Copies of this chain bind each other. A is one copy, B any other.
């Protein structure tokens, strides 16, 4: 058992525990002589301060929590990595928690963090089931407790918390313009769950982009997934059976895209020829795919760093402005000219033009 306390160090160095503490925590009022003695003794004994005792008294834990909605989604693990690296560089530990897209688990984690008195929290907020914009009770208590909080990726309209989000409006406009230019008019959308603000934002931006490009908004071309692979697969089947036979599709995240592309491969759909595909999230697998998939990508490292910066600002008593990152569209060979007439076009007249 490592029972070495600061008193042991103080005794070994021949000073009081107060002096030892001052030396070890870098307090200026220490003489070079005692500094040397204490440091030598601490090293000699292999002293490791007890973080509990330290933060009980000082009310600082040098720890922040990061709550994401799915560790296994590469989007979030990239984000987690960026946040963790940046926090690490500032000497802050990161507690990573996983809500599993489930608000009960989110609350468990928040309760644990509140109890551990973390210095701050970065989270991808999850609305409550029916009422997507209402924060959970635990989140309200956490905010009420004065714990600095920053939202990243998603936001909750009713909650006054700085947020770092991504805007896909511009990228989707470009994407839809490109598709239109290639002759696509019936563009399907495989979206995410309504409780995620990201999903709503992408859906909204998709509709806006159609409109901006003079295309009809047709809700029957929208499939509601849940950001996980299984729903992408279901969306892929739904699209194959769709009476309107869309010629292009935009998918709202990478796991769903992987699920969908798997189904289309099995069904023998020629991606890029029969069906043009664009997906959110530029993960490596999209570049591995033959043909490579066009993507709308986010600057996740940037967002992670910005979140940490915003959080440290809040911790310092400031109120940072919300920050919005602009997503980026990259065209790849998964897009091609829409099949004109012929083939799959049965009984669906082109809408006046």
**Interface residues of A, Cβ cutoff 8 Å to B:** 1-2, 46, 48-53, 55-56, 61, 71-72, 74, 77-78, 80-81, 84, 88, 93, 95-96, 98, 105, 108, 111-112, 114-117, 141, 144-146, 229, 255, 258-259, 261-262, 265, 284-285, 287-290, 292
B51 touches A115 (CB 8 A): yes
Task: Given A88-B108, A284-B262, A289-B288, check contact A145 B49 (CB 8 Å).
Answer: no
Closest to A1 in B: B146
Within the complex, the shortest CB–CB distance from A98 to chain B, in Å, comes to 6
A109 CB, min distance to chain B CBs, angstroms: 8
Copies per assembly: 2
Residues of chain B within 8 A of A141, CB atoms compared = 2, 46, 48
Choice from B48, B74, B96, B292 contacting A114 with Cβ under 8 Å: B48
* A and B contact pairs by CB, cutoff 8 A, 24 listed: A2-B114, A2-B144, A48-B111, A48-B141, A51-B112, A51-B115, A51-B117, A52-B56, A52-B61, A71-B80, A72-B74, A72-B81, A77-B77, A81-B98, A84-B98, A88-B105, A258-B284, A261-B288, A262-B284, A265-B288, A265-B292, A285-B285, A285-B288, A290-B290
B-chain residues with CB within 8 Å of residue A117 when the two chains form the complex: 50-52
Q: How far is the CA of A284 from the CA of B141 in the complex (A)?
A: 39
A114 vs B1: C-alpha distance in the bound complex, in angstroms?
A: 11
Are B229 and A284 in touch, CB under 8 angstroms? yes
